[in-house]
Structure 1
């Protein structure tokens, strides 16, 4: 696979995955096309050596693995969720000549970047069908239906000095100037577009707004990729292609968890039992399970902060990654990242052996440090873990920026883990 093919597929995946549900659905389709067999957690498993399998939980987290009987697994972990504006259960607000939706921020998003963007709406809707069975369906409106207009500077002359954003009142997307809007009918219409004709009653939903602008190359020489949800769908894409590219005889696992951006504490998050349950079913003998855990490695792939050329003081000068200079090894003394000298050394050795560059990130000692699924997974399973990522600008903005070379380089390194 060439870098050009890799990146074109990445852009398509980013555009097609406006929510964790859509990302998981798209990944499942890719696994199906690659010959993976779907498993269901509520059913008994009969695994066959030489086969590949995948399963989902909550429609928003996914695991894929090869099954060969070997124990030294290379595991790649990522997350499906990104910061967004989540629609409240009773969202419709009609006042001051406009129809607005009540929303709440999901994750640590940069709120100021959400103004003056064209929004669509996507997610999962639960409903009662004509046979009195509760079902779920995904919807994606696709076209722009809402916007959050900025307050004109004439009405806030200190906007460029000290404007703050109130998450309750200032970020309500505006959908219409007509009072003739009914949320329930709107959802039924969207379900019908998705192929659901018989809706007896609507129940709950998980919906969020997203920017309709497509992912694109940016820069004089297409140096950058600009898109929503680069954190962390880019790592999902690297993991998908990695496990789809190896032979079934090589022990490998990929997991993409939901809810990382809000702490991972859910049934489908890294703090839940999804991965542990799966591994126990693959290795039902406890002795073999422990042997597998202690002979395997977890590569927690999540984006890293590249040094911003306009804000260089925000980085430790000796640990400041650059865009398009290779994957980033993430290290933190307080174990906000789970990398240690053993796992870091293995990554460095493999990358060097195939001529791929790498960098190191350590946050400034006087600043706080974010975290990943790495420490959570390492704690829950006791597996040796490495935290890495693609260097990124504007993390948690509505439109993030990464290099056009780095993800492909990381993909090649992960593939080489299976030969080490």
Structure 2
């Protein structure tokens, strides 16, 4: 079934709103290239919108009532926002859930080394990437280094125009005949994705000891000590992420698209956040989950498999109607959720990988995926028809542009989200998100119209699903 390109329906007011939302979104992408940075942005925006820390209510012994807006974060890499509705929490919540981690390259714990007068950081890639895409392009270093005394040093090098950038080197084409014959997966090995960070040796006049044979490494460590007051040993308690340097940009002569790193899945995270922060009084409690670790299986304390969300719901139940394990279970089972993650946009340049009738297209709005998984729906959440019908009604009444799709041809590939994890509580869940081109590449592409429709759709879901 064809869906109309929403650009064709827009009034001047719609065009203005779409541009405003996209400009706001690009600023969030520029400031949020790691999960920690995303949580900081979400926290700041939430507080500006009147949200208060849940911990404040707990410390003061305050009960939560309809209209209260609270948030809580965990380990700096996961954040939950709630707007308390007029109905009892055990009636369920309307949940928007997205992840804020993206494929990248991480720095190892013993990373600094020198080889033939070149200094490097040893790395380990995170999530599903085409490794060759990360060669010979400007990269930035983001993250934190925590010293033994608890001092946290924030690192952000490569984003300011006066900063240096970093690079992972590639073999020159003149000598790459053998390399060019390799499979794409073997063009560069994971252990060779090391970041070039220096080539200037420390001199004796600058403090080099005669017996020190690694003068370039010594100079790098000297600069790090002078600039950040960190030592080589401090890297063992660091979380440093290597990401593409540079800002989100308009794409196309018509400026109809956004080109940026990390749109999987920050495009759904920030649009969900925008919708969450702009709500009137609601009947069902609204929740926005921005979670870590989806790209590696939603594991760990800050992934969706952790109990942090469930524990927080238990706190909310206790602070609204009194402590009750049964009410917690009811609240979870009676909830309805959009597992907001990106879809693969149909790419005419690679048409053979798609089944066109079941593909998502640029400019046709928010994407719903009844199921995900791969090769026989393996690992999929498969949404109920009754729930989809309810969503259709809400989206149509709110005049949201939307479409239905799946990820590529049946036997070609596939993917998963956090949907199946939340469905374990018995709640209704469907995958929903924005279509992007070049998913998991350094730079992904999205339509501004789809970004706008996502905000409209998420807002309609929060306000009207019941």
The verdict on a shared fold, with TM-score over 0.5 as the criterion, is: yes
Determine the C-alpha separation between the residues in 2 that align with 1:65 and 1:117: 40
TM-score by length of 1: 0.91
1:176 equivalenced with 2:198 (yes/no): yes
In 2: Cα distance, 1:248 partner to 1:121 partner? 42
Residue 269 (structure 2) aligns with: 236
1:175 deviates by 1.3
**Does 1:368 pair with 2:413?**
yes
**Contact 1:300–1:373, Cα closer than 8 Å, also in 2:** yes
Aligned length: 409
Q: Which structure features the higher share of helix residues? A: 2
1:96 matched to 2:140? The reply is: no
Tell me the equivalent position of 1:326: 365
Distance in 2, matches of 1:187 and 1:298, equals 45
1:85-137, Cα deviation, whole Å (9 max, x unpaired):
100111112112211110011011121211121111111221134xxxx2434
Shift of 1:330: 1.3
Superposition deviation, residue 335 in structure 1:
4.9
Spell out the pairing of 1:252-331 with structure 2 (5 A cutoff): 252-283=286-317, 284-331=323-370
Cα deviation, 1:31-60, whole Å, max 9, x if unaligned, reads: 111111113499656342131111111101
Matching of residue 121 in structure 1 with residue 153 in structure 2: no
Deviation at 1:356, TM superposition (A): 2.2
Q: Of the two, which has the highest radius of gyration? A: 2
- 2:175 aligned with 1:136, yes or no? no
Please tell me whether residue 419 in structure 1 is matched to residue 441 in structure 2: no
Deviation at 1:352, TM superposition (A): 1.7
Summarize the alignment of residues 338-417 of structure 1 with structure 2, pairs less than 5 Å apart: 338-363=382-407, 364-379=409-424, 381-417=425-461
Task: Tell me, yes or no, if the aligned pair for 1:121 and 1:208 is still in contact at 8 Å.
Answer: yes
Q: Kindly provide the CA deviation profile for residues 315-374 of structure 1, in whole angstroms up to 9, marking residues without a partner as x.
A: 122201111111111133445244332332222222222222222222422133210011
In 2, are the aligned partners of 1:79 and 1:232 still within 8 Å (CA)? yes
Q: CA 1:412 to 1:42, structure 2 compared with 1: closer, same or farther past 3 Å?
A: closer
Structure 2: unaligned runs, 5 residues or longer: 1-15, 203-216, 318-322, 372-376
**Alignment map for 1:201-216 (pairs within 5 Å):** 202=234, 204-216=237-249
Contact kept? 2:19, 2:448, Cα under 8 Å:
no
Residue 55 (str. 1) matches residue 72 (str. 2) = yes
How far apart are the structure 2 equivalents of 1:336 and 1:190?
48
Deviations 1:160-205 (A, max 9, x none): 453523434432111111234456655555547xxxxx99x84600
Query: TM-score, normalising length from structure 2?
Result: 0.82
Secondary structure at the aligned position of 1:245 is classed as coil
- Distance in 1, matches of 2:62 and 2:351, equals 54
- How far did residue 394 of structure 1 move? 0.8
The residue that corresponds to 1:82 in the other structure is 102
Q: How large is the Cα RMSD of the aligned pairs?
A: 2.4
Counterpart-to-counterpart distance in 2, 1:42 and 1:108: 40
Q: Secondary structure at the match of 2:28?
A: helix
- Corresponding residue for 1:65? 82
CA deviation after TM superposition for structure 1 residue 309, in Å: 0.9
1:195 matched residue in structure 2: none
Among candidates 149, 153, 158, match of residue 173 of structure 2: 153
